[in-house]
Structure 1
Amino acid sequence: MPGWASGEVAPAGVHKGAAIEAILAHLGIDAADAIGIGDNWNDAEMFEVCGTAIAMGNAVEGVQALADQVTTAIDDDGIHNAFVRNGLI
């Protein structure tokens, strides 16, 4: 619909970064060993928490600038390529 904007609304402090911190603490894993893969601004806090931040090739430009690595686009096997590059598969 023209004039409508999309976005996300969440309570203060609720974001992917906080969720990953909680999971890592529960599992006893150091954040330096975590890899976050994302493509939009809702991934920025996750990138701050994870030791390695990977932006998809189709990610918005500012998000790519936040990342440690940029992989190929989602439609071009981006997650697979990121896993291979980082020795996960």
Structure 2
Amino acid sequence: MHKGAAILAILGHLGIDPADAIGVGDNWNDVEMFEVCGTAIAMGNAADGVKALADQVTAGIDDDGIWNAFERNGLI
């Protein structure tokens, strides 16, 4: 089991297309989530390799990275 599989299960239950999902992560255990979500966002404090796999990179967790990512993508 990994985050990507869990997200696919939840999205399937809710009838949401994975292309419409946004995944935000900061470590290697988020790679599978990035692969299934339509938009992958790495935190600024993520490893460089994780950032390279993301569609976007936001600020670090201590610099309101989640807020900035959600605002940039029209969620707030």
Instruction: Please confirm whether the aligned pair reaches a TM-score higher than 0.5, indicating the same fold.
Output: yes
Question: In the TM superposition, what is the alpha-carbon distance from 1:43 to its structure 2 partner?
Answer: 0.0
Between the two structures, name the one with larger relative contact order (CA 8 Å, sep ≥ 6).
Answer: 2
Q: Which sections of structure 2, spanning at least 5 residues, go unmatched?
A: none
Taking only the aligned residue pairs, the percentage that are identical comes to 83
Question: In the TM superposition, what is the alpha-carbon distance from 1:49 to its structure 2 partner?
Answer: 0.2
State the 4+ residue runs in structure 1 displaced beyond 6 angstroms. none
**What TM-score results when the alignment is normalised by the length of structure 2?**
0.99
Q: How many residues align?
A: 76
Q: Which sections of structure 1, spanning at least 5 residues, go unmatched?
A: 1-13
Q: CA RMSD in A?
A: 0.2
- Point out the structure with the larger helix share: 2
Pick from 40, 49, 68: which aligns with 2:27? 40
- Say which one has the larger Rg: 1
Q: Distance in 2 between matches of 1:43 and 1:77?
A: 19
**What TM-score results when the alignment is normalised by the length of structure 1?**
0.85
2:40 aligns to what SS in structure 1?
strand
Residues 7-41 of structure 1, C-alpha deviations (whole Å, 9 max, x = no match): xxxxxxx0000000000000000000000000000
